[in-house]
């Protein structure tokens, strides 16, 4: 008997939810805004699907319905990736400890 690969993906999915649950509870409340912006950035890993779609054209026609939607999705996801990581970096750079000297 072979196990359907879907079951493996489902296992990864369920376990990741648990990992997410414990990791996110340990995030300090003062960093909740950077948490939102960084989750925004990483969920744009959906760009991998967009790239596959964008390269789905063939030599005769680069542009077909599928690849055009792919290109658009690449653009949107790229805004999010660059914007999300950079704005997170910018925020995190502001969190400083109290200076010892008075």
Residues between 11 and 40 that touch another protein (CB under 8 A) = 12-14, 16-17, 19-21, 23-40
Q: How far is the CB of 76 from another protein (least distance, A)?
A: 4
Q: Between 1 and 92, whose beta carbon lies closer to another protein?
A: 92
Q: Is 100 in the site for another protein (CB under 8 A)?
A: no
Residue 1 CB, nearest approach to another protein (Å): 18
CB 14 to another protein: min, Å: 8
Is residue 101 near another protein by the rule CB under 8 A?
A: no
**Could you tell me if residue 8 is left (phi over 0), alpha (psi between -120 and 50 degrees) or otherwise beta?**
alpha
Structure tokens that stand for 94 in this block: 């502001």
Reduce the secondary structure of the chain to three states and give it as a string: CCCCHHHHHHHHHHHHHHHHHHHHHCCCHHHHHHHHHHHHHHHHHHHHHHHHHHCCCCCCCCCCHHHHHHHHHHHHHHHHHHHHHHHHHHHHCCCCCCCCCC
Q: Give me the least distance between CB of 25 and another protein, in Å please.
A: 6
Q: Looking at residues 31 to 90 of the shown chain, list those that interact with another protein (rule: CB under 8 A).
A: 31-57, 59, 62, 64-67, 69-90
């Amino acid at each position: 008997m072979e196990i359907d690969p879907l079951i493996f993906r489902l296992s990864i999915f369920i376990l990741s939810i648990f990992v997410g649950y414990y990791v996110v509870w340990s995030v300090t409340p003062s960093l909740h805004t950077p948490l939102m912006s960084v989750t925004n950035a990483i969920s744009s890993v959906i760009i991998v699907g967009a790239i596959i779609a964008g390269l789905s054209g063939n030599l005769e026609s680069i542009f077909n319905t599928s690849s055009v939607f792919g290109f658009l999705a690449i653009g949107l996801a790229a805004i999010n990736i660059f914007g999300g990581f950079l704005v997170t970096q910018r925020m995190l750079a502001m969190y400083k400890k109290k200076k010892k000297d008075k």
